[in-house]
Amino acid sequence: MTKSEFLERLKEALENDINGPVVQENINYYSQYIDDEVRNGREEAAVIEELGDPWVLSKTIIDSVEIKTKQSNTYSQGTYSNSSSQTNQSSSQGASGSSSGGGSGFSGKLKLILIILVVVAVVMGIFSLVVGAFSAMAPVLVPILLIVFIVRLFSNRR
């Protein structure tokens, strides 16, 4: 199968289930991907074979778009908002392999708790290192400090 055949089959498979701009973004992505791999010395047929059946790939993309659309239909602060058009654009990037790194799925409170836990762990680690260093040096330092104290005590009496 050639690149143009692969992209045409992928386009046909996507057009029935997702909107035009998302279809075109995915077609552009896979076209660029194939071109990049060929430029890197791979055979076009091997790249297309690695991508697999365009119909199976389209199912993955469509499922990803549907999941993103469902996640964007949120009920927040007493109003219902549907941002599926924005979701379709961003989900095509996720389905096509690139990601914007936007949301990590953690709420603000959870992020704050995680940050606090990390800070506490770091402080405890530093504290244990300091205590460990002192406990390792104590058998040497205590006698030396006692000797210095006794010498100063007797030297001040003269």
Q: Determine contact, residues 100/90, Cβ cutoff 8 Å.
A: yes
* pLDDT: which is higher, 70 or 74: 70
- pLDDT of 83 > 70? The answer is no
Q: State the Rg of the chain over Cα.
A: 32
Query: How does residue 155 score in pLDDT terms, banded at 50, 70 and 90?
Result: confident
* Location of structure tokens 């680690």: 125
Count of CA atoms in the C-beta half-sphere (13 A) of 148: 6
Amino acid sitting at position 147? I
Q: What is the pLDDT of residues 2-58, one digit of tens each?
A: 889 999 998 888 888 888 888 888 889 999 999 999 999 999 999 989 988 888 888
Mean pLDDT of 76-104: 44
Q: What is the pLDDT of residues 92-149, one digit of tens each?
A: 444 444 444 444 456 778 888 889 999 999 999 999 999 888 888 888 888 999 999 8
Other CB atoms closer than 10 Å to residue 119's CB: what's the count? 10
Q: What pTM, to 2 d.p., does this model score?
A: 0.44
What pLDDT, on a 0 to 100 scale, did the predictor assign at position 98?
41
| 24-33, 73-82, 86-95, range with the lowest pLDDT | 86-95
What pLDDT, on a 0 to 100 scale, did the predictor assign at position 46?
92
Q: Is 147 exposed, middle or buried (0-12, 13-18, 19+ CB in 10 A)?
A: exposed
